[in-house]
Amino acid sequence: MSPLVLAATEDFSPEHEFELPAWIPLELGPIDLSVNKAVAYVWLSGLITILLGIWLMRFGLALRPSRRQTTGESIYEALQAQIAEGNLPKKSVGRWFPYVASLFLFIWVMNMVGFIPLPLSDETFNLFGLDLPTWGVYAATANLSVTLALALITFVATHVEGVRFNGLVGYLKSWIPAGAPKALLALIVPLEVISQFMRLISLSVRLYANMLAGHMLFLVMIGLIFIFGNVFLAIVSVPVATAVYIFEVGIVVSIQAFVFALLSAIYIGGAIEPEH
């Protein structure tokens, strides 16, 4: 093992930020429903999403909009135009737009909260005899379970809507490309079935991996100072970490939320109208 790795294993562990020890142990039969840091971030993000949505899109609305209302309307109409109307069939926009819009806002808030230092850490520090939680950054979307759960909702919604609109047989038939030779069906059908499940994986892993990579990069850049115990490394690592932070907050956070919601709309729309 290299000196770098040895140093890292002894003094600094970026992945510790992603460990989830139970804060409140809770088990429901075989399922561990313990409340931990990720659950707390999911709850916090959910609460912020609700408050943000209501603040921007409910209170003090008028026909002549204020700046706040204009922001809310712009977000709403952008989601409607960019995600829903272009990818969902007209007949199902009203039904599924709230879903994809909620998905976008929820993921965007989770991503954004992930870059705000909060005192929601397993570690503590002592200040005047008081053990206080360490401030740190953590993204719930950098956890595969969270993104997989959201992808699973889209996955189930896609197939339920596909069957509801086309019938089971019609929907399954729609998986087979038009004009595919019968001889190749034995090969094509398993591939199509696999591709449906691959959507679940790609949808979840894309968001998870992007957010995880951003956080890892940011944490490691800051961690280099502690790994090498050299404060002068901050001259390089802090600007790089800042650049990564700005890049993540400014671009990746929104793009990943948008892509997740957009793909959800495309999958659901494609299932409702396979020829769409």
Using the rule CB under 8 A, is 173 a contact of another protein?
A: no
Whichever of 77 and 123 has its CB closer to another protein, that residue is: 77
Using the rule CB under 8 A, is 124 a contact of another protein?
A: no
The gap from C-alpha 206 to its chain's centroid, in whole angstroms, comes to: 9
Whichever of 46 and 89 has its CB closer to another protein, that residue is: 46
In b/e form, how buried is each residue of 125-136, taking b as 16+ CB within 10 angstroms?
A: eeeeeeeeeeeb
CB neighbours of residue 187 within 10 Å: 11
| Residue 34 φ then ψ, to 5° | -60, 145
In the chain, where do the E strands start and end? 27-28, 31-32, 124-127, 130-133
Whichever of 31 and 186 has its CB closer to another protein, that residue is: 31
What's the Cα-to-Cα distance from 206 to each of 37, 176, 203, rounded to whole Å? 22, 26, 6
Q: Binding residue for another protein (CB under 8 A) from 31, 130, 169, 183?
A: 31
* Residue span binding another protein (CB under 8 A) among the ranges 33-41, 171-179, 242-250, 257-265: 33-41
Using the rule CB under 8 A, is 114 a contact of another protein?
A: no
Do residues 17 and 219 make contact, with C-beta atoms less than 8 angstroms apart?
yes
Distance in angstroms (rounded) separating the CA atoms of residues 274 and 82: 20
Using the rule CB under 8 A, is 111 a contact of another protein?
A: no
Q: Binding residue for another protein (CB under 8 A) from 84, 88, 105, 244?
A: 105
Using the rule CB under 8 A, is 198 a contact of another protein?
A: no
- Pairing state between β 124-127 and 31-32: unpaired
Using the rule CB under 8 A, is 134 a contact of another protein?
A: no
Distance in angstroms (rounded) separating the CA atoms of residues 159 and 200: 12
The DSSP output letter for 127 is: E
Q: Binding residue for another protein (CB under 8 A) from 76, 165, 247, 258?
A: 76
Return the percent helix, strand and coil in the chain, to nearest 5.
Answer: 75, 5, 20
Q: Binding residue for another protein (CB under 8 A) from 84, 87, 88, 97?
A: 97
Provide the phi-psi class of 167: left if phi over 0, else alpha when psi is between -120 and 50, else beta. left
Using the rule CB under 8 A, is 113 a contact of another protein?
A: no
Using the rule CB under 8 A, is 72 a contact of another protein?
A: yes
Do residues 192 and 176 make contact, with C-beta atoms less than 8 angstroms apart?
yes
Q: Binding residue for another protein (CB under 8 A) from 11, 32, 78, 235?
A: 32
Size of the site for another protein (CB under 8 A): 61
Binding region for another protein (CB under 8 A)? 1-2, 4-5, 8-9, 13-15, 18-20, 26, 31-36, 38-39, 42-43, 45-46, 49-50, 53-54, 56-58, 61, 63, 72-73, 76-77, 97-99, 101-103, 105-106, 140, 143-146, 148-150, 152-153, 212, 216-217, 220, 227
